[in-house]
Amino acid sequence: MSDSWLGGAAAVALLTFDVDAESAILAHGRRYADHAMTMSHQAYGPEIGLPRLLDMLDELGVPATFFVPGQVAEQRPELVGTIAERGHEVGHHSYSHRPPTSMTAEEERADFERALHVFTDQGAEIHGHRAALWEATWHTADLVAEFGLLYDSSLMGDDRPYRIPTTRDQGEIVELPVHWSLDDWEQYAFLPEPSIGSVIESPEKTLEMWRAELDAMRHYHCLFNLTSHPFLSGRPSRALALRRLIEYALECGDVRFARCVDVARAAAVDQSLLSRPLHRPDPDSDAYPLW
């Protein structure tokens, strides 16, 4: 069946939350552990924003996927279980929240495995991965396949799911693509130091943009993959804007909400979707200096 991954809907909506907490700042340097304001800004996510968002999802009856760094799960051992008990999916979001593009291949592997050990110790069932800052490397898809995960959600090569062949006869993984326009970090993130963003947009403007994208994706039968962070979208006015977006999508009547794993399973067997090998460009050294 063509486009069976849509499940009869005009578009599929993924509500994904990156529960970065302190890890997103410590990845800039562990010296920031000495900054009480900065650490409290990040702790707001799991301690205040996350419960608020989980309650909202319960009230609206929609599922979500929460990508959790292993360091965050380790420091708050009740967090992963709380998310799973509410019927939501927990995803792999590195251990340290250091971007893979800043690591060697060996460091990326060690960080990836360290997070998996945390999730295994906590009894969490992990099906998918999202790279820190979405900065996947050319090795990332192979790691996802090697450790038996079904999907990745870090790349931007489409606005529908697609499959990526991996090396060493490990088959394909599903890519659930993302985009900066559907990330609350680009709308709300601000800290004096380290620099994580410099603009705090009105939730009304953000809601308008996301509704326009949802309407267009309903027209083109796309994957609406929204990325939010509890320390950002868990704040009161932003949580209400997100609620209004979800209510609007429900009122449309042709948008299906799903967890990432459910879409990935459907996409893995939908032959109408592309299988797209990853190709690293080989830039001319004379035209493109290595800066």
Cβ atoms 16, 183 nearer than 8 A: no
Answer whether residue 237 is part of any domain: yes
**Band of residue 2 on the pLDDT scale cut at 50, 70, 90:** confident
What does the block give as tokens for 67? 């990508």
Compute the average pLDDT of residues 19-47.
98
Q: Is the pLDDT of residue 168 over 80?
A: no
Q: What is the CA radius of gyration of the chain?
A: 18
Answer whether residue 53 is part of any domain: yes
Answer whether residue 273 is part of any domain: no
Q: Which residue matches tokens 């965050």?
A: 72
Domain count, the chain: 1
Cβ atoms 72, 92 nearer than 8 A: no
Answer whether residue 116 is part of any domain: yes
Domain hosting 138: range is 4-268
**Band of residue 1 on the pLDDT scale cut at 50, 70, 90:** very low
Compute the average pLDDT of residues 89-99.
98
Compute the average pLDDT of residues 262-288.
94
Q: Is the pLDDT of residue 100 over 80?
A: yes
pLDDT in tens, 129-140: 999 999 999 999
Answer whether residue 43 is part of any domain: yes
Kindly report the backbone phi and psi dihedral angles of residue 200, in degrees, each rounded to the nearest multiple of 5, phi listed first. -115, 105
Q: Is the pLDDT of residue 60 over 90?
A: yes
Return the percentage of the chain with pLDDT > 70, whole number: 99
Supply the CATH number for residue 248's domain: 3.20.20.370
